[in-house]
Amino acid sequence: MSALRSIRRDIQAAQERDPAATSALEVILAYPGFHARQLHRLAHFLYERRQRVLARVVSHVGRAFTGIEIHPGAEIGEGFFIDHGMGVVIGETTQIGDNCHLYQGVTLGGTSTKRAKRHPTLGDNVVVGAGANLIGAINVGNNVRIGAGSVVVSNVPDNATVVGVPGHVVAYHDPGDDTILKLPDPEWDVIQRLERQIRKLEKRIADLEKELKREPAVSQHQEDAS
């Protein structure tokens, strides 16, 4: 795809996924995610041609201008959209597929200090919620949804919904008709059992307190009768 067509696709992605986007001109002038993406195009172009210092300078300017840090080495597919964007960090060896959507505060980070693949790989049509952290050289499948605030440190299969710390799959969905198949959640089941037990104990304590209050009154009545 030519650069111009690719830029147009970025504008379309913003309009498709953000109801607040009223026009292409608004996206071009006032969307930091769009600005960060275009500056990354230039930085990545320079990075691929071994102009590493200049590429990092462009990346640094983009970070200062948008609040979004994308390493020049990151590979990003078509139709990429960063919503709001402040605080997003995308590491050097990150690979992002087509039509992906990141919200503010997302980190695609690494854990290794070696010069090797150490950042996540995202498939197509991935949505990552605000404040989520994807750490390490993990693979996130196509059509995956990652909940806000989740910490994902292991591979995620296609069509899954992931939440929690650490992130775990709670459902699968059919991207064709959005049908959701919920999975068992052992942690939530344990919490619910504990809540039920606590309610039973609270009721038992309340009943005992009522019995203790009645006993002195009964004893006093028996003494008066005698």
**Tens-digit pLDDT string for the chain (226 aa):** 688 999 999 999 999 999 999 899 999 999 999 999 999 999 999 999 999 999 999 999 999 999 999 999 999 999 999 998 899 999 999 999 999 999 999 999 998 788 889 999 999 999 999 999 999 999 999 999 999 999 999 999 999 999 988 888 888 877 776 666 666 666 777 888 899 999 999 999 988 888 888 776 656 555 565 5
Query: What pLDDT does residue 200 have?
Result: 92
pTM of the model: 0.76
Query: What pLDDT does residue 150 have?
Result: 92
Which runs of E-coded beta strand occur in the chain?
A: 69-70, 75-76, 81-82, 89-90, 95-96, 101-102, 107-109, 121-122, 127-128, 133-135, 139-140, 145-146, 151-152, 160-163, 168-173, 180-182
Query: What pLDDT does residue 102 have?
Result: 96
**Residue from 126, 132, 157, 169 nearest 147 by CA:** 132
Query: What pLDDT does residue 113 have?
Result: 81
Query: What pLDDT does residue 223 have?
Result: 59
Backbone angles phi, psi at 188, to 5 degrees: -65, -35
Query: What pLDDT does residue 182 have?
Result: 64
Query: What pLDDT does residue 169 have?
Result: 85
